[in-house]
Amino acid sequence: MTVSPPAQPDARGHFGRFGGRFMPEALIAPLDEITEAWEDAKADPTFTAELARMLREYANVPSPLYEAHRFSEAVGARILLKREDLNHTGAHKIRNVIGQALLAKRLGKPRAIAETGAGQHGVASATACAYLDLDCTVYMGEVDTERQALNVARMRMLGAEVVPVTTGSRTLKDAINEALRDWVSTVDTTHYLFGTAAGPHPFPAMVRDLTRGIGDEARAQSLELLGRLPDVAVACVGGGSNAIGLFTGFVADEQVRLVGIEAGGDGIETGRHAATITGGDIGVLHGARSYLLQDEDGQTLDSHSISAGLDYPGVGPEHAHLAATGRAEYRPATDAQAMSAFELLCRTEGIIPAIESAHALAGAIELAEEMGSDATILVNLSGRGDKDVHTAAQYFGLIEEPVVLDEGTEE
């Protein structure tokens, strides 16, 4: 299934000047162990066949490539949707968690921990741990456990322990901090099932390897459907796992533009956003050098987005590198743009997208205006929007009593 070789980080995990490992020494040996185990596993046909079988039989992968005719007509360009929303658990995240859970088994670790913001990676992790018989603990900011009560219930149904994190801003970044604190104390028995293509080496490269099926499949499907490649591939970028998964399949095809859409929140100029590359600066957070939202003393700033899955003040280092080299472009879509695209997809295609993915759709609408009707735009529909129904209903004023749907909400 490998179509183009991915950009390899150097031996210490650097993508250009980005990435690396800024971690306590106590975790360096465990990270080395994972690096080596992942290299071995990737080269082991038994492991790769097992992973492929699980993704096929259990996760409903490969996902279809779908030409969205009515949406295309509405936006004025040919739009192809990579339907990751049809995967088990409703998003691309299952690809990463099944792979890492299988690696945890290979490492002989009986327990996995994960961080989660909106709850999607937590639910995916709890799912993979139930499927592969691992104990699972999920750290989740207390603020998020309150606004995502339904996902907390989902994780608990699947047998995971959910720990509300009460430190710092009590959101995703603090959940990562708390998971790291757990990990440094339990690393002999525990794998940290990191949820995005960020963090210390080897996580950015490993998560990329596990999600690159998105782009590899889409590339082959484009050739089959169109007889050629799309002009541009678009994905939303929070930490960046779905985007790096899509982009990797096309990085070697220089004629294909790669566009990452960051969460513009209320607008970059307001300071209330999560557009890390567009509106942040270079620094170190959660183990890697990349872009982040920070004040002039290097303290991490809170991010803001209507999409809980994009509401993170950092971004994966390979995206920073792709931005710095100019191979990929990054631009913001505001909450308002994303919700407008969300509504358009619902009404034209009968597909309710995740609000994260609606940012990619908003980017596609803007690109369609710029590129004209001859353009073929591939959009990664990274997840489905069931989890976002309450947020969207509130946003569009479709419900009168917010209290009635007090669960399963984003915010």
Partner 1 sequence: MSSIDALFERTRSENRAALVGYLPAGFPSKDLSIRAIETMVDAGVDLVEVGLPYSDPVMDGPTIQAAADVALAGGTRIRDVFDVVKASAATGAPTVVMTYWNPVERYGVERFAADLAAAGGAGLITPDMTPDEAEEWITASTAHELSRVFLVAPSSTDERLAMTAEAASGFVYATAVMGVTGQREQTSNLAPELVARLREVTDKPVGVGLGVSNGAQAHEVAAFSDAVIVGSALVRCLLDHDEPDDALAALRALVADLRAGVER
286 binds partner 1 (CB under 8 A): yes
Nearer to partner 1, 282 or 393 (CB): 282
What residues pair up with 81 in beta bridges, in sequence order? 66, 379
Rg (CA), the chain: 19
**137-176 mask for partner 1 (x: CB under 8 A)?**
------------------------------xx----xx--
Nearer to partner 1, 32 or 406 (CB): 32
Query: What single-letter DSSP state applies at residue 308?
Result: G
- Per the residue annotation, which of 382, 387, 410, 411 is the catalytic one? 382
Among 120, 241, 248, 294, binds partner 1 (CB under 8 A): 294
Residue 19 CA to residue 7 CA, distance in Å, equals 13
Q: Angle, to 10 degrees, between the axis of helix 120-132 and the axis of helix 93-106? A: 40
113 binds partner 1 (CB under 8 A): no
Which strands form 14-15's sheet, in the order they lie side by side? 14-15, 18-19, 288-292, 281-285
Dihedral sign, Cα of residue 171, residue 288, residue 193, residue 325: positive
177 binds partner 1 (CB under 8 A): yes
| Gap between the terminal Cα atoms of the chain | 39
Is 290 a residue of the active site?
no
193 binds partner 1 (CB under 8 A): no
Helix (H, G, I), strand (E, B) or coil at 404: helix
Whether 324 contacts 17, CB under 8 Å: yes
Stretch (H or E) spanning 381: strand 376-381
Among 57, 296, 400, 401, binds partner 1 (CB under 8 A): 296
196 binds partner 1 (CB under 8 A): no
Is 115 a residue of the active site?
yes
Smallest gap, in angstroms, from Cβ of residue 42 to partner 1?
A: 23
Among 6, 7, 9, 21, binds partner 1 (CB under 8 A): 21
- Per the residue annotation, which of 84, 115, 262, 318 is the catalytic one? 115
**235-274 mask for partner 1 (x: CB under 8 A)?**
----------------------------------------
Residues in contact with partner 1, total (CB under 8 A)? 37
Residue 3: φ, ψ to 5°: -105, -50
What residues pair up with 284 in beta bridges, in sequence order? 289
Among 184, 226, 268, 405, binds partner 1 (CB under 8 A): 184
- Per the residue annotation, which of 63, 72, 82, 93 is the catalytic one? 93
Does the bond joining 6 to the residue before it have cis omega, within 30 degrees of 0?
A: no
189 binds partner 1 (CB under 8 A): no
Among 1, 10, 17, 24, binds partner 1 (CB under 8 A): 24
Among 42, 70, 181, 327, binds partner 1 (CB under 8 A): 181
How many C-alpha atoms does 287 have within 13 Å on its Cβ side? 26
Between the alpha carbon of residue 335 and those of residues 159, 263, 351, the distances in Å are: 34, 7, 19
Whether 271 contacts 332, CB under 8 Å: no
Whether 144 contacts 308, CB under 8 Å: yes
Is 169 a residue of the active site?
no
30 binds partner 1 (CB under 8 A): yes
12 binds partner 1 (CB under 8 A): yes
Nearer to partner 1, 18 or 247 (CB): 18
Nearer to partner 1, 174 or 209 (CB): 174
How many C-alpha atoms does 200 have within 13 Å on its Cβ side? 20
C-alpha angle 270-275-280 in degrees, rounded to nearest 5: 85
Among 224, 269, 297, 400, binds partner 1 (CB under 8 A): 297
Which residues sit at the interface with partner 1, rule CB under 8 A?
A: 12, 20-30, 167-168, 173-174, 177, 180-181, 184-185, 187-188, 281, 283-287, 289, 292, 294, 296-300
Q: Catalytic residue positions?
A: 93, 115, 382
